[in-house]
Structure 1
Amino acid sequence: MGRFHRDDARAFVSRAIAPGVGVWLAILGIGALLTGPFRGLARDEEAVNRVLADERNPTWNTITMLWSHIGNTEYVIGVCVLVTAVLLWRTRDWRWSVVPAIAISLQATIFVIATAIIGRPRPTVEHLDPAPPTSSYPSGHVGASTALYLVLALMAGRIARPWLRWLTTVLCLLLPLLVTYARLYRGMHHVTDVAVGMLNGIGCALLAYGWWRHRSRAASAEQLPAPVVPVVQPRGAGEQA
């Protein structure tokens, strides 16, 4: 299972927190452009929202409601806690087990601060979901589901059975796409909102997984036995060559 080491915290700061600040600054910069010089882009984007709104019907309203729920905070946290508990039980490796929690925590922190600062209005179509207190940019549903399920797809590479590994990977990659479409269909976000939300999730998933890979290699190196160096005894003065 391993134990917490001071280097784990240092690596977390240097390989997750510090680059996470960079992701946050990039998202703020894009948001400032979308609500400033490129404000008119929102009108063009809403054409997509209006087309989707015009094609709504009861069947797809129900289907997209279920897809949208995949990105809800309570669902994401619930799946993360369940997966973390199962991984810890099966592997006894705490570093491996907390990777999903790191991914969604980074994403949520970046999202909450960015959406509070940017404050972009939601599309001017009927909203089929209750609008949370956060603004439209970036999409928290898309970001959270991408961070969680992308990191699970990366972790699925360690599943021994090929059919289960591929099934898990495909399913985990599909779910964020369903959430993305649902949030657009239900009038909750502009196209750029979900695009940047997905980029946020991708970045946080890669940072969390990269932290584990770095600490895993370091922990393995620490456990390797010291190399045995043969000692050559000098020949005595009386020994013959």
Structure 2
Amino acid sequence: MSFLTRYTDDRSRPTAGSALRDGFLRAILPAVVLWAAIVGVGFLIKGPLGGLPSEETVSKDAQSLRTATWDSVTMVWSHIGNTEYVIAVCVLAVGLIWWRTREWWVAIIPAIAISLQATVFVIATTIVGRPRPHVPHLDPAPPTSSYPSGHVGASTALYLTFAMLAQRIEHAVLRRVVTTVFLIIPLLVAWARLYRGMHHLTDIIVGALNGIVCALLAWAYLRRKNA
């Protein structure tokens, strides 16, 4: 059984109880380990590594590229990762997938991914409390700290699950195009957050890793035959 085709290779319907049990053991508990690792890296950056002063140079280099046109373009890209947009897109996708497939255990995968990501992010950012880059910020700064990037984490978790779900598309060319678009979107959000001075480079990298791991945990949350 291929990891990407685990839900098409095995279409058996789980009970709600078994799905909850599998979700706890295969998604929530590993997410706790992920959270601990992210917090540990955050304390390492703020402590022994002294906040990685060289990252300020990266942020200033990104600032030097600003133009009115790119300010407008990156504003759109940045908003893709806003909490309200991520939740709205996720709810719409869950409803659409559920309606089209009648497989609730597959439809909820994006919701599991962004829920895991958000939980890890909110607790980690509160504990670590890293200041944002010392450059002009083009977006309103949310109350959370700079590390890790919630926008990047949320968009990565959501659109990576969409990319995996897109492997069900039978038309090969359409499948590749849709998958590529879904994989590019988090990269646009990441660049926008760096360009707009909202995060250090490591905030973005760790945010992306948070999203990737949470998407993979969500995809694997349900036990399938031989997987």
1:170 corresponds to: 180
Instruction: Specify which structure has the bigger relative contact order, considering alpha-carbon pairs within 8 angstroms and separated by 6 or more residues.
Output: 2
1:37 corresponds to: 48
Say whether residues 1:27 and 2:34 are aligned partners.
no
Unmatched segments (≥5 aa) in structure 1: 219-241
Which secondary structure state, in structure 2, belongs to the residue aligned with residue 217 of structure 1?
A: coil
1:230 corresponds to: none
Cα distance change on mapping 1:40 and 1:16 into 2, 3 Å:
closer
Normalised by the size of structure 1, how large is the TM-score?
Answer: 0.87
Which secondary structure state, in structure 2, belongs to the residue aligned with residue 211 of structure 1?
A: coil
> CA shift at 1:5, angstroms?
3.2
Cα distance change on mapping 1:40 and 1:72 into 2, 3 Å:
closer
**Structure 2 Cα separation of the partners of residues 58 and 130 of structure 1:** 18
> CA shift at 1:6, angstroms?
1.8
> CA shift at 1:95, angstroms?
0.2
> CA shift at 1:3, angstroms?
6.0
Equivalent of residue 155 in structure 2, options 141, 145, 169: 145
Computing the radius of gyration over CA atoms, which structure comes out larger, 1 or 2?
A: 1
Say whether residues 1:4 and 2:15 are aligned partners.
yes
1:224 corresponds to: none
Which secondary structure state, in structure 1, belongs to the residue aligned with residue 225 of structure 2?
A: helix
Equivalent of residue 25 in structure 2, options 6, 11, 14: 14
Deviating above 3 A after TM superposition, structure 1's stretches of 4 or more consecutive aligned residues are: 1-5
**Structure 2 Cα separation of the partners of residues 157 and 217 of structure 1:** 19
1:114 corresponds to: 124
Cα distance change on mapping 1:40 and 1:117 into 2, 3 Å:
closer
- 1:75-120 CA-to-partner distances (Å, cap 9, x unmatched) read 1111101110110000000000000000000000000000000000
**Structure 1 Cα separation of the partners of residues 45 and 32 of structure 2:** 20
2:7 corresponds to: none
**Structure 1 Cα separation of the partners of residues 75 and 147 of structure 2:** 20
> CA shift at 1:217, angstroms?
3.3
Unmatched segments (≥5 aa) in structure 2: 1-11
> CA shift at 1:159, angstroms?
1.0
Q: Pairwise CA RMSD of aligned residues?
A: 1.5
Say whether residues 1:195 and 2:210 are aligned partners.
no
Mapping of 1:77-226 within 5 angstroms?
Answer: 77-212=87-222, 214=223, 216-217=224-225
- Letter of the 1:24 counterpart: W
**Structure 2 Cα separation of the partners of residues 135 and 30 of structure 1:** 15
Identical pairs, percent: 58
Mapping of 1:45-84 within 5 angstroms?
Answer: 45-84=55-94
